Amino acid sequence: MIHKFRDMPADLNTRSNIYVLIDEAHRTTGGDLGNFLMAGLPSATYIGYTGTPVDKTVYGRGTFKTFGCEDDQGYLHKYSIADSIEDGTTLPLYYQLAPNEMLVPHETLDAEFLSLAEAEGVADIEELNKILERAVNLKNFLKGTDRIQQVARFVARHYVENVEPLGYKAFLVGVDREACAHYKHALDAVFAEMGLPSEYSEVVYTGSNNDSELLKQFHIDSKKERQIRKSFGKRHQQPKILLVTEKLLTGFDAPLLYAMYLDKPMRDHTLLQAIARVNRPYENEAQQMVKPHGFVLDFVGIFDKLETALAFDSDEINAIVKDLKLLKVLFKNKMESRAPEYLGLIGDTFNDTDVDTLIEHFRNPERRKEFFKKYKEIEMLYEIISPDAFLRPFIADYASLSAMYHVVRKAYTKTVYVDRDFQAKTNDLVRENVGTYGVTSVGELVEINAETVDLIKKKHAGDGTKVINLIKSIEKVAEDKSDDPFLVAMAVRARVIQEQYEGRQVTTQDALDDLLEAIRKNEARKKQQAEKGFDSRTFYVFETLREAGVEAAESVSTNVRAAFLNHPNWQSSEAELRELRNKITFAVFAEVDDLDQVTRIVDALFSNLER
């Protein structure tokens, strides 16, 4: 309640055992209110909390001078942004400068903003706006009609090509409300050319009764603003881009916000607060989305003089705010150092022989895990950088690497279908190229029937591919006919064989022979079952009783079948399950005198059927 001290006399209380805890300490003690407070409590201990300490202010007393300890750095305790990134509570930031023709001329930016003493340590957007009001040449440049059209076209294209395919959203930060309104009209026109609705962007600012007709076009009430905020936080809803200048630049958390198109000169606390909107982590397991970092596309030129614009610990700033060019260096290094060891596994044509080589090479789960990890790191870099001419020399190798990942993952994934192998841009690349490689055999499902064994033997694919395809085919037929206990049991056996195969406990030929033998046995079972006129479950009961030595297994099975028909909800109703179990127990007990044996038979029967 610092405002309570306004105009208070000095030495209100001179005790030394008073402790004053101050939040947002970069701003609340920077002016007269701080002077009144400290004069009133001259012997108190002041502890300031801030996420953005300011080295200097217009009053010549920065956060460290006011609160700092007698040590090298001035912190009592520091939890840095770098610490936060390491803990995963925030993400690093990457920036890119817009083309030179759109950037503010250096001399204008320096003279009317960066070199101004009153702009140093600017603590809030209101202060910043007052400074920018006097920057006439700067604002005229930023709001030039031709430039707004040029920037709007660049932003729209960049968002649709670079950001939207990743699944994320963006801010366009205008220098003032008028700029936001002009940008909205310009973006609507560009999106219309692209066949996209005007709802792709929305303007959010505070309106006034004295506003011009242009500004009044985008006045919204609190209900509409809440709806916009809510929809912006949902991936598949409009808007995709919010145009802002003051509102939402502090305290607004939207994890889906990835990109900020910055067209407003900012510095120090206001800049850090603004760009921190895009560093919130986001993860969606279902969509395989993990936000890698926040991204700022600078149309002003602030990031060209980052150490001047952010008057904080330069080592820390350089550690967390990096030029996007570094990602290109990282991609190049990974493609040159990591990709060759994998690309060497396949030939120039990448055919079915190569598929079998990959299946054999990646039988080991740890080896697959390492490959998947390295590939996903490269893929994410490609997604962020693309489209860019820089990628042209790497496209062929990257496409082959992606096709390899497609083959190995499809072969060894634990599910029959893969929902989403790749991020959006890579998915398009793979779809265009995989067909040209001639890779068709992996994941090819075959019908499990009397002809399967002969069909598999005639196929030209390698034995490793045959093993994988048979396992997947057995799992698929068991999934489709989950009421057939024999097929479910065969799928369980197939998974055991796969584990033995991957662990190199059996040879490829032995694994193939075991799978084919399981299919032969199942076909023999189906023939015997048809001869007796039993359904799969009744025949399963018959086989269980026969193997247990029950002489009248066939008649007991008929009684058991009637019991199941009378209790169709036994798997969802405890009462029906108890009744069914009792009837089956009595049916078996009529032919078996040993009660313990009856219990064992019934327990085994239900255990397998429930599974």
pLDDT tens track for 519-535:
888 777 778 778 777 77
- According to DSSP, residue 104 is labeled P
Start-to-end CA span in the chain (Å): 65
In this predicted structure, what is the pLDDT of residue 201?
96
- According to DSSP, residue 324 is labeled T
In this predicted structure, what is the pLDDT of residue 546?
74
Residue 168 clears pLDDT 90, i.e. is over it: yes
In this predicted structure, what is the pLDDT of residue 29?
66
Residue 603: CB atoms within 10 A of its CB come to 11
List, in order, residues 6 or more apart from 106 with CB less than 8 Å away: 301, 304
Q: What is the mean pLDDT of residues 42-67?
A: 70
Question: Rg (Cα) of the chain, in Å, rounded?
Answer: 35
Is the domain of 128 the same as that of 246? yes
What distance in Å separates the CA atoms of residue 162 and residue 294, rounded to the nearest whole number?
13
pLDDT higher at 368 or 443 = 368
Q: What is the mean pLDDT of residues 419-436?
A: 67
- 100, two tokens: 């030179």
In total, how many domains does the chain have? 5
Residue 170: CB atoms within 10 A of its CB come to 26
Q: 289-290 and 19-22: which strand pairing?
A: unpaired
pLDDT tier at 322, thresholds 50, 70, 90: confident
Instruction: Judge whether 135 lies within some domain.
Output: yes
List, in order, residues 6 or more apart from 271 with CB less than 8 Å away: 302, 309, 310
In this predicted structure, what is the pLDDT of residue 222?
92
Is the domain of 516 the same as that of 397? no
Q: 289-290 and 283-284: which strand pairing?
A: antiparallel
Q: What is the mean pLDDT of residues 278-282?
A: 91
- Could you write out the DSSP letters of every residue in 569-601? TTTT-HHHHHHHHHHHHHHHHTT---HHHHHHH
Determine which of 17-31, 106-120, 233-247 has the lowest per-residue pLDDT on average: 17-31
Is the domain of 241 the same as that of 388? no
Instruction: Judge whether 298 lies within some domain.
Output: yes
In this predicted structure, what is the pLDDT of residue 441?
57
What distance in Å separates the CA atoms of residue 583 and residue 41, rounded to the nearest whole number?
87
**Whether 247 contacts 206, CB under 8 Å:** yes
Is the domain of 432 the same as that of 385? yes
In this predicted structure, what is the pLDDT of residue 433?
65
Is the domain of 386 the same as that of 497? no
Work out the widest C-alpha separation in the chain, in whole angstroms: 106
CA 19 to chain centre: 44
In this predicted structure, what is the pLDDT of residue 74?
67
The identity of residue 35, as a single letter, is: N
Q: What is the mean pLDDT of residues 169-196?
A: 96
With tokens 């062929």, the residue in question is 396
Among 257, 461, 259, 225, smallest CA distance to 359 is for 461
pLDDT higher at 595 or 185 = 185
Last residue of a domain, one of 322, 351, 379: 322
Instruction: Judge whether 198 lies within some domain.
Output: yes
Is the domain of 459 the same as that of 425? no
pLDDT tier at 56, thresholds 50, 70, 90: low
Q: What are phi and psi of 44, to 5 degrees?
A: -70, 160
What distance in Å separates the CA atoms of residue 135 and residue 175, rounded to the nearest whole number?
11
In angstroms, what CA-CA distances link 118 with 18, 90, 113?
33, 31, 9
Q: With H, G, I as helix, E, B as strand and everything else as coil, classify residue 336.
A: helix
Determine which of 291-300, 369-378, 497-506 has the lowest per-residue pLDDT on average: 497-506
Instruction: Judge whether 446 lies within some domain.
Output: no
pLDDT tier at 416, thresholds 50, 70, 90: very low
Instruction: Judge whether 389 lies within some domain.
Output: yes
In this predicted structure, what is the pLDDT of residue 58?
43
Is the domain of 475 the same as that of 600? no
Residue 385 clears pLDDT 60, i.e. is over it: yes
pTM: 0.70
Strand-pair partners of 290: 283
Instruction: Judge whether 593 lies within some domain.
Output: yes
Is the domain of 192 the same as that of 67? no
Instruction: Judge whether 233 lies within some domain.
Output: yes
- According to DSSP, residue 170 is labeled E
Last residue of a domain, one of 300, 322, 344: 322
Summarised one tens digit per residue, pLDDT across range 149-166 is 999 999 999 999 999 988
List, in order, residues 6 or more apart from 289 with CB less than 8 Å away: 166, 167, 282, 283
Range of the domain at 413: 330-437
Is the domain of 389 the same as that of 260? no
In this predicted structure, what is the pLDDT of residue 418?
44
What distance in Å separates the CA atoms of residue 551 and residue 5, rounded to the nearest whole number?
98
With tokens 């957007």, the residue in question is 125
Is the domain of 405 the same as that of 392? yes
Instruction: Judge whether 443 lies within some domain.
Output: no
Tell me how many degrees the CA angle 190-192-198 measures, rounded to the nearest 5: 95
In angstroms, what CA-CA distances link 255 with 81, 305, 562?
17, 28, 57
What distance in Å separates the CA atoms of residue 154 and residue 33, rounded to the nearest whole number?
45
Among 572, 357, 569, smallest CA distance to 464 is for 357
Whole-number mean pLDDT of the chain? 83
What distance in Å separates the CA atoms of residue 168 and residue 258, rounded to the nearest whole number?
6
Is the domain of 515 the same as that of 474? yes
Q: What is the mean pLDDT of residues 236-256?
A: 92
Q: What is the mean pLDDT of residues 548-572?
A: 76
Is the domain of 280 the same as that of 297? yes
Last residue of a domain, one of 78, 101, 118: 78
